[in-house]
Structure 1
Amino acid sequence: MMEINNTVLAWILIIAGGFLQLGWSIGLAYTNSFTDPMWDAVTIIFLVLSMICLEYPMRLGIAFTTAYAVWIGIGVFFTVVVSYALGLEDNEFTLGMGVCLALIIAGVVGLKLTPVEYIDGHEPPSE
């Protein structure tokens, strides 16, 4: 059986949590101000799972700012794409919107690739 180290597990969870944001953000469109019990439950379940997938990797040593940026970046990008694909948006997708989404992804990648300097030598726990 293949063993997954903590860092790999942390990144898998952050990415999964980003995708789980789709469930609650799209689910909000169907809750009718939280008056539809089925969609209310779906939205809340996806919200809780998404938050767990953000929180747990930080316990494994991923910096909060990096984890949050990747988590939110994935969530924003795919929520926009899926909401347009499902016809939940009233306006058309424009080139400018595409450029802004690309900038979000570029910013997330930039944060991940930028070397980290630790304050007072306090590094996160090792694997």
Structure 2
Amino acid sequence: MPAFAGMTPSKVTDAWGERWPGPVTVDGALHTIRVTLPGTQGQLSAAVGQPDKDRRDEVAHVFCMVKLRGAVQRPLLKSLVEGCLGPVLKAKERTVVLDWLISADFSVPHPHDQIQRSSRFELLANHNSDKNFALILNAR
């Protein structure tokens, strides 16, 4: 299974902790943080997953799920891209991903994931209920 080159779970969670002070929980292969996002007041649950149990110091997946308090709007998307996915994405990738998310219509829930692929990752945007919005970033 692919992983993001040079990225470790602690690098990702340390960046999250700097942005959103809160405890990081380690449960097996998952490193998670749960915080209230400033400005949006949505509840963020974010996790880093490893490729497999023998590769604990690599990052294969980043999950960002928000329990919404309102619509999916630009400030939320920006916060998720810069803060949650940001430690794994390169600067240009953050810009491309944010532009893609802003251009997608998340005004109402969709029954299907919206997907963006690049040579380094696959991003799934899931807005299938009024209460949840998730981004799932997988290494390619």
TM-score (structure 1 length as normaliser): 0.31
Of Structure 1 and Structure 2, which has the larger fraction of its residues in helix?
1
TM-score (structure 2 length as normaliser): 0.29
- Decide which structure has the larger Cα Rg and report it: 1
Q: Which has the higher contact order (CA 8 A, sep 6+)?
A: 1
